[in-house]
Amino acid sequence: MAKKVLLAFSGGLDTSYCVKYLADKGYEVHSALVDTGGFSAEELKRIEDRAKYLGVASHKTLNLSDRFYKDCIKYLIYGNILKNNTYPLSVSAERIFQAVAIAEYAKTIDAKAIAHGSTGAGNDQVRFDMAFAIICPEVEIITPIRDEKLSRQEEIDYLKKHGIEGNYDKAMYSINQGIWGTSVGGKETLTSKGYLPEEAWPTQITKTGEEVLEIDFKNGEPVGVNGKSYAHPVDAIKKISEIAAPYGVGRDIHVGDTIIGIKGRVGFEAAAPLIIIKAHHLLEKHTLTKWQMYWKEQLANWYGTLLHEGQYLDPVMRNIESFLADTQKTVTGKAFVHLSTRNFYLQGIESKHDLMASKAGQYGEMNNSWSGDDVRGFSKIAAMQNIIYYKVNEQ
C-alpha cells in the first residue's frame, strides 16, 4: 500500500510540482489548503479543481480566518507591528497557523508524511518544519523543491513534460494571498534594485480621485468602516481592503533578514494592514501615556521578530499578548484616512479618551495646573544629575 502524504497546497507552481513529484515517487497524495481569509469562494473552488486535475486522492479546505484574527492579527494591530518599519508580516504571520492546521489535519487522516513546497533559501521552510516537529514529531517531512534545488523554470518544464497545463507566464511570480496582505515574488525581487511591474500586482489600480476613509476602533480592534459597524473585525479588514486597494496603496518591497541568515526581498500588497496599523498607532498616540507607548514598542518589536522567525508556539508569546491586550482599554475612537492614487495619509482622530483634550493644559498655548515657578524648579531638578556630572568632570 502506498504511503499517505499530506501536501500543504496553494495551487501555485511549487505545490503543483509537488503533487506530480510525490505521485511519481509512489506516494498517495492528499492536499489541504489553509484559508486565512484571503480567498474568495471562486478562488477556493479553482484551487480545489486544480488539485483534483493534478490527481490528488483528496483535497480539503481548512478555514482558519477567524482563528488567525483572534490569535494573531489582533496582536499585530495592538503592537503596530511592521517588520523593519515596512512589512506587516503578511505571510510570516499566517504561516505558523497554516502549519499548525496542516499538522492537526494530517493526524486526522493518518498521514505518515507531510510535504510542503518551500524552497531552501526562504523562511517558510523553517516555519513549517518547526511547527511539524513540535506538533507531530513522528511524521516524515518531505520538501521536493528544497531537496531538488529547483528553479521555477525547471518546475515549469517538468509539469509541461507531464502534460500539465497552466498559466506559466503568471507562474513566474510567486503569490501568497491572505487577509493580512499578499506577498509577490519574482525575478525582480531576486535583485537589490528591480521593482515589480504593474501587471505583477494582484490588485490593479482602478480608482482615481480621492476620498476619506473613517475607521472605528473599539479597545484597539477595527469594528467599523465609514459609519457601518461590523460584528467581526475580519469583515472590517476586508471592507477597508475593498475600498483602498484599488487606489494602489499598500504596495512596497520589504528587505529583511531571513531566519537562516541571508538577506531577502519580497514585494507585498497590504492596503488594509498598513492603513489599520497607521490609524491605530495615531489613535494610541492620543490615548496612551508615553511609558505605555514606549514599552509597547519594545515588546511589540520582539513579538514581531519571534513571530517572523517561527517561534509563535513559545509561551513567552502569550505573555507579550497579555501585556499588549491590557494596553488597549482606552484605545477607542475614530481615525480618518485620506486616500488617493498610490497614497494615503492620516487626517486625525476623535476619541473620548483623547489626552490632548485635557483641561490641565494645551500644548504651546496655556496651562491650568502649574505655575512658572513650578516649571523652573522641575527643570532644575530634572537637570541636576547632568549639572553635577559636568561640574565633577570640569567640562
Tell me how far apart the alpha carbons of residues 368 and 361 are, in angstroms, rounded to a whole number: 6
Q: Does the pLDDT value for residue 364 go beyond 60?
A: no
Residues 229-273 pLDDT 10s: 999 999 999 999 999 999 999 999 999 888 888 898 999 999 999
Co-location of 269 and 155 in the same domain: no
Least confident residue range of 168-177, 208-217, 347-356: 168-177
Q: Give pLDDT, residue 298.
A: 96
Co-location of 10 and 66 in the same domain: yes
Q: Is 299 exposed, middle or buried, given 0-12, 13-18 or 19+ CB atoms closer than 10 A?
A: middle
Co-location of 77 and 149 in the same domain: yes
Co-location of 259 and 288 in the same domain: yes
Q: What is the DSSP string of 115-163?
A: E----SSSSHHHHHHHHHHHH-TTSEEE-HHHHHT--HHHHHHHHHHTT
Co-location of 46 and 90 in the same domain: yes
Co-location of 338 and 368 in the same domain: no
Co-location of 229 and 366 in the same domain: no
Quick one: which of 8, 25, 6 has its CA closest to 112? 6
Q: Does the pLDDT value for residue 199 go beyond 70?
A: yes
Co-location of 320 and 240 in the same domain: yes
Q: Does the pLDDT value for residue 362 go beyond 80?
A: no
Residue finishing a domain among 125, 148, 174? 174
Total count of domains within the chain: 3
| CATH, residue 110 | 3.40.50.620
Range of the domain at 212: 178-355
Residue finishing a domain among 124, 140, 174? 174
Co-location of 120 and 133 in the same domain: yes
Q: Does the pLDDT value for residue 367 go beyond 80?
A: no
Q: Does the pLDDT value for residue 361 go beyond 60?
A: no
Residues 78-99 pLDDT 10s: 999 999 999 999 988 888 889 9
Co-location of 345 and 380 in the same domain: no
Q: Give pLDDT, residue 232.
A: 94
Co-location of 372 and 312 in the same domain: no
